[in-house]
Amino acid sequence: MDSVYLDNNATTKVDDKVFVAMRPYLTNHFAHPSSPHLLGTKVRQKMEEARDLVAVLLGTTHPDEIVFTSGGTESINTAIRGVLAAAPSRRHIITTKVEHVSVLNLCRHLATQAYRITYLPVNREGMLDLEELRKSIREDTALVSVMWANNETGVIFPIKEIGEIVKEHEIIFHVDAVQAVGRVPINLRTLPQIDLLSLSGHKFHAPKGVGALFVRRGVKLSPLVIGGPQERMRRAGTENVASIIGMGKASELAPIYLQEEDTRVRKLRDQLETGLLKQIPLLRVNGTRETRTPNTTNITFKGLDGRKLLKTMEGDGIYASSGAACTEGKTPSHVLLAMGRTPEEALSSIRFGLSRYNADGEIDYVVGSLRRIVSHLRTIINPMQRAVSQ
Ligand code: PLP
């Protein structure tokens, strides 16, 4: 087996159909989408088709609610900073302790600019206490920003219920759906509570460096990037045409593959999880198994150094991760710490993120390989453990 890629929460393979859709816009059809001549108009038309496709994927009938960006981080920054700039008297933000760093570090930065931030805690399963959310709402709360699905554990938050609480007040609701798009159904028509929603192309088989922000009609948002009149004055700069067209194609494909994510990919993830738990002692799954993205499992390998484990797995051609790609497993995951794990437990944890590109036969290979590797590493740490770990 050449390699088994199990790091799909970090990034995904570009679908061949996506690449084929993009190619002409990197070669022959290179005109500027804002040029009024025929060549430019044709490119614009294709870009607008991509906007329609993203809108359909999200379940909105208004393509003008889609703003193209450079990815999840920019969408999130545009949403949060844009709302705050449009409502300067409101200085309070509510988010959670387990958000991606693109939200957490932005909030930390905003705290230095006289904003107050409430970080909602999660329980040992990674779930929020909605009463805590209710209690934390203040007169000057500008926005609530929560993730749909966690990038490290796959845990899904009850977005509808959260939105209903938020909408008892005049507060903007932003959802970071970067890990949810393409993995769980999203229908903004049935979720009128959501004002803003961020997504990123490279998490659902489109290229890196492209994303979108859904901005519901009527939501007041100041632009983050100022310059030309692109994206209805909500995001200046020449659009990343080919990647946008690629993301349009990926959006068209996503509902077709969603069924596969929910059945075959889920089955593979469950096989991997049960296989590992059955064959290797002292393992624990992090995050509720009730509501998780179908492709993710996060497992603590008690007593082992996660980084060492990952390095050894690489020797067998298996690629997973110790949490968010951005932190590289050097510091204990803030998500697992928030879930009450000790720093040692957090550093012993591995995130496996599957996709439709994983073949059925890969799972047995990974389970067998990890069984051997863990047994070996535990023997090195403590030769007396040999008996337990085999
Ligand atoms: N939000 C979540 C939950 C993520 O997992 C990521 C990326 O890993 C981001 C935001 C940032 O997205 P991007 O890499 O497109 O900037």
Contacts of 54 (CB under 8 A, 6+ apart): 63, 66, 199, 212, 247, 248, 251
* Best probe residue, ligand 1, of 152, 179, 296, 322 (max atoms within 8 Å of C-beta): 179
Looking at ligand 1, which residue's alpha carbon is closest to its atom 8? 10
> What's the gap in Å between 131 CA and the centre of ligand 1?
27
Atom of ligand 1 nearest to the CA of 150: 3
Looking at ligand 1, which residue's alpha carbon is closest to its atom 12? 72
H helical segments located in the chain: 16-22, 38-58, 72-86, 101-111, 130-136, 159-166, 230-233, 241-260, 266-279, 306-315, 334-338, 343-347, 361-381, 386-389
Residue 208 pLDDT: 98
- Residue 248 near ligand 1, beta carbon < 6 Å: no
**How confident is the model over 255-287, as pLDDT tens digits?**
999 988 889 999 999 999 999 999 999 999 999
Residue 383 pLDDT: 58
Looking at ligand 1, which residue's alpha carbon is closest to its atom 14? 72
> What's the gap in Å between 155 CA and the centre of ligand 1?
15
- Give the C-alpha separation, 30 to 26, whole Å: 6
- Main-chain dihedrals φ then ψ at residue 7, nearest 5 degrees: -125, 40
Residue 388 pLDDT: 46
Residue 390 pLDDT: 42
- Residue 154 near ligand 1, beta carbon < 6 Å: no
Phi/psi class of residue 176: alpha, beta or left (left: φ > 0; alpha: ψ in -120 to 50)? beta
- Residue 176 near ligand 1, beta carbon < 6 Å: yes
> What's the gap in Å between 377 CA and the centre of ligand 1?
32
CB neighbours of residue 129 within 10 Å: 12
- Residue 151 near ligand 1, beta carbon < 6 Å: yes
Atom of ligand 1 nearest to the CA of 326: 8
Residue 389 pLDDT: 43
- Give the C-alpha separation, 210 to 12, whole Å: 13
> What's the gap in Å between 77 CA and the centre of ligand 1?
11
Low-confidence ranges of the chain (pLDDT < 50): 386-390
- Residue 178 near ligand 1, beta carbon < 6 Å: yes
Residue 261 pLDDT: 81
Residue 203 pLDDT: 98
- Residue 306 near ligand 1, beta carbon < 6 Å: no
- Residue 72 near ligand 1, beta carbon < 6 Å: yes
* 164 touches 144 (CB < 8 A): no
Residue 215 pLDDT: 98
List, by residue number, the catalytic residues.
326
Residue 324 pLDDT: 55
> What's the gap in Å between 72 CA and the centre of ligand 1?
5
- Residue 230 near ligand 1, beta carbon < 6 Å: no
Percent of the chain whose pLDDT exceeds 90: 93
Residue found by looking up tokens 């060549």 in the block: 39
